[in-house]
Amino acid sequence: MSDTGSQTLSPETIVDFLAGIFDRRGGEEYLGEPVTMAEHMLQGAHFAEQAGEAEIIVVAALLHDIGHFTSEFGTFSMDDVEDRHHEEAGARVLEQFFPTLVTDCVRYHVAAKRYLCATDPAYLGKLSAASVHSLNLQGGPMSADEVVEFEKNGNCEEIVRVRLYDDAGKQADLTTQPFSYYAPMVQRIVDAHCGGTA
């Protein structure tokens, strides 16, 4: 269980909790991009679904940036002055309820950007200005040793795919489904991991 202030999370309540974050906080600016936070994450899920990805990848794309809302999670301090390490914040909350594939896609989507910058010469040129700025805060392209280490992750391929859906999800005025459309999908992933039947 995770205690987030007055609310104790469980497999039965985590999806409603996440839906509430989208409702309360989704309209916030997304780091200088022409989309809101909710639009960005919903677009990631949209592109994953359009590509025919399995539900688990669609859910990972949907939730990859949930850690930006660290004030929703009572376990994180406010002494993060530059890079907030939102990827770790999100993964720490989700890992109680989601399989490793989902939490790895959340935890390492920033690393995947650094990895792609190091291994794909064309990738850096495709990043938005805001993403380049955050890349500099996040350590820049990976070193050769970091690339080797990253590739040891058994979910490396999926993490990179979710990163590319993340990059795509920055289109102004794109119509997507709301969180409620994905909620049953999210619950199925939680139930499969936690053994629930709801």
Q: How much of the chain exceeds pLDDT 70, in percent?
A: 87
As a whole number of angstroms, the distance between CA 61 and CA 46 comes to 9
pLDDT at 82 over 70: no
Q: What is the mean pLDDT of residues 178-195?
A: 97
**pLDDT for position 28:** 87
d(CA 41, CA 89): 16
User: For the residues 80-97, what does the mean pLDDT come to?
Assistant: 74
Note the pTM of the prediction, 2 decimals. 0.88
Q: Residues 6 or more apart from 154 whose CB is under 8 A from it?
A: none
3 beta partners: 8
Domain that holds residue 178: 2-194
The Cα–Cα gap between 12 and 133 comes to 38
pLDDT > 90 in the chain, percent: 67
> In this predicted model, what pLDDT tens digit does every residue of 97-115 receive, in sequence order?
999 999 999 999 989 999 9
Cα 112 to Cα 54, 58, 94, 151, distances in angstroms: 20, 17, 19, 10
Distance CA 158, CA 65 (A): 16
Residue ranges of the alpha helices (H) in the chain? 14-25, 37-50, 55-63, 86-94, 100-107, 109-119, 123-126, 129-137, 144-151, 156-168, 179-194
Which CATH number goes with the domain that contains 20? Answer: 1.10.3210.10
Contact 193, 98 (CB under 8 A): yes
Any idea which of 23-32, 46-55, 65-74 has the lowest mean pLDDT?
65-74
Per-residue pLDDT tens over the stretch 121-180: 899 998 888 888 888 888 899 999 999 999 999 999 999 999 999 999 999 999 999 999
**Alpha carbon distance 116, 136 (integer Å):** 14
Total domains in the chain come to 1
Residue 196 has pLDDT above 80, yes or no: no
Residue in this structure with the two tokens 């907030």, named with its chain if needed? 84
**β-bridge pairing 7-9 and 2-4:** antiparallel
